[in-house]
Structure formats: C-alpha cells, structure tokens
Amino acid sequence: MKLKSLIEAGDPERIATGFQFTEGPVWHPDGYLIFSDIPASRIYKWTPDGAVTIWREPSGFSNGLTLDRERHLIACEHGGRRVARVAADGTVVTLADIYGGKRLNSPNDVVVKSDGTIYFTDPPYGLTPPYGPSVQEREQPCNGLYRIMPDGVVELLIDDFDRPNGLAFSADESLLYVDDSPRRHVRAFDMRPDGTLSNSRVLADMDHPQPGSPDGMKIDAEGAAGQLRLGRRRPADALHHRAHLALPCAGNSAGPTGSVATGAIGRNAPGLVSWDYSRGIFFEVVRGGFAATT
C-alpha cells in the first residue's frame, strides 16, 4: 500500500531542512510546529509561512515532545536524563529524573492523559553520543515504561521491554500502544480505572527481512471505538482544509537527511501509524495486521 493512497491530496512535502536528527514533532494549538533536533540540542519552531526559528537552546538533547492540558511543553531530555516541563516564559521544571534512587536512562517519548498523568518510555539511546552529550553510566536495571502522577509521584508500570520507544493512547484512552524497537512490534495495553496497565499483547508484528524498527506513533483524536484511524495534527487556520502529520525523516532513506516533512492525511484511512526511522516507511496497523507504506 502506497502512502499516496492514504492521503487526501498531494504528496508529502519537505517543509524544512538543514538539521542533524529531527524528532518529536508536535503541533501547538496556536498554529505552529515544534520539533527537536537531538544532536544540536535545539527545539525549533516552524510556522506556515515557512519560517524556522530556534525555540529553545540548549534543549538538553530533547527527543519526544508533547503538550499538557495547560499547553506547556513536556520534553524528554537525553542530556538531563529527565522529563521536563517548559512554561511559556521559558521556565523549565524537572518532572522526573530519578526512580528508586537511581537516575533514569534517557526518556524518549511521552504522552499526557486527560487527567494530567504523564506516561513516558525510558530506553538507553541517549546514554551515548550523538544522542546525548557524553558516554554516561546506566543506573536503571530495565528499560521501562513509567508514569508521572499529577502529584508528582513517579511509578514504573512495565519493565519487560527491550527498548520501548513511541507510545500513543487510543482516542478514548482505554488503550495504550507502545512499540518496542528492537523487537519490531507494537504492544497494546488495557487501561485500568486507576491508570495502571493490564492485558499486554502484541498488536502488530512489524518484523521484515529489511532492516528498520518502529519508532514514533500517532492516533487520530476522531477515532471511533473499535476502529483506529490514521494519526494527524492540525496546523494553523490558513491550512485548516488539510490535516497534517509531521514526519521526521532524518537519517533514513525516505528523504533528505535532517528534513521535516508533512502530508495531508485522509479521513477514511483506518489505522495506527508507526514510523520506521531506518527505512522511511510507515506501518499502518489495521485491526491487528499491518501494511507498509512508502
């Protein structure tokens, strides 16, 4: 299945280039895109007029980004080995950097539940350059999935991943999806009323003879119960007729290294999307199966 068969009109277009390794794209409700450039230790801001400016520097080698209910930026920082909140005035507050008296590995990706609870993955990618500032000693015994409670308490939820990476809630928050990059699959978990997880299962096995692993994921907020829909983010009002998904394509074969691309996503394409960063391929997960898209 080709990517062009899933989009409303046109092909993905490169909107910016000249970066080192882009990650963590998130659309701000005020109509601009924020994304990380990990080795540069910068967060950039892109506006629909094509302007790219440095939004935060240094960014602590930030990777995954999201927004909380107050529109504060939540960032996974490899350099500080922490999850941090960045307020509109630039104030940075550490939300999590220690668990069990030991430093986290290098928080990678993050999502915020509607009740304010923050869920994040913690593989060790940022413990060595270029994804972190220097070679650092690992302290945690696992590569875990954690949550930060609204009162600030940090809890380890799942400890049996190889290297957990991207994660996303279903539209009704009854499920949490997490991919495990080396194992090349996406797992699904049921969300209990207290926010803990149960019923772990492999939703999609993405193993393939070619190299590459699943990375970031997105879910459409309009997804109906029992049907997953292709993820997207909405940019500024000037582009309100097209829904866009930001595609980081640094270091893969799909596009120019260090580029950011967008594409209009069709409303009738059901599926959870996971980005294979090594091969520049999307995997659309449809009711337990998957189809590669290029």
pLDDT in tens, 191-226: 999 999 999 999 888 887 877 788 888 775 554 222
CA proximity to 102, closest of 55, 136, 54? 136
Place of tokens 């930060």: 148
pTM of the entire predicted model: 0.79
CA separation for the pair 59, 76 (Å, rounded): 10
For residue 237, give its domain range: 3-293
Query: The CATH number of the domain where 146 resides is what?
Result: 2.120.10.30
Give pLDDT, residue 203. Answer: 87
Is residue 49 classed exposed, middle or buried when 0-12, 13-18 and 19+ CB atoms within 10 A define those classes?
A: exposed
Higher-confidence residue of 27 and 82: namely: 82
- Please name the helix (run of DSSP H) or strand (run of DSSP E) that holds residue 114, with its range, or none: none
Q: Amino acid identity, residue 193? A: P
Is residue 152's pLDDT more than 90? yes
Give pLDDT, residue 91. Answer: 92
Query: By the 8 A CB rule, do 236 and 32 touch?
Result: yes
Query: By the 8 A CB rule, do 239 and 245 touch?
Result: no
Q: How far is CA 1 from CA 5, 129, 253, 284, 290, in A?
A: 7, 36, 18, 9, 10
Is residue 92's pLDDT more than 70? yes
Q: How many domains does the chain fold into?
A: 1
Query: By the 8 A CB rule, do 248 and 212 touch?
Result: no
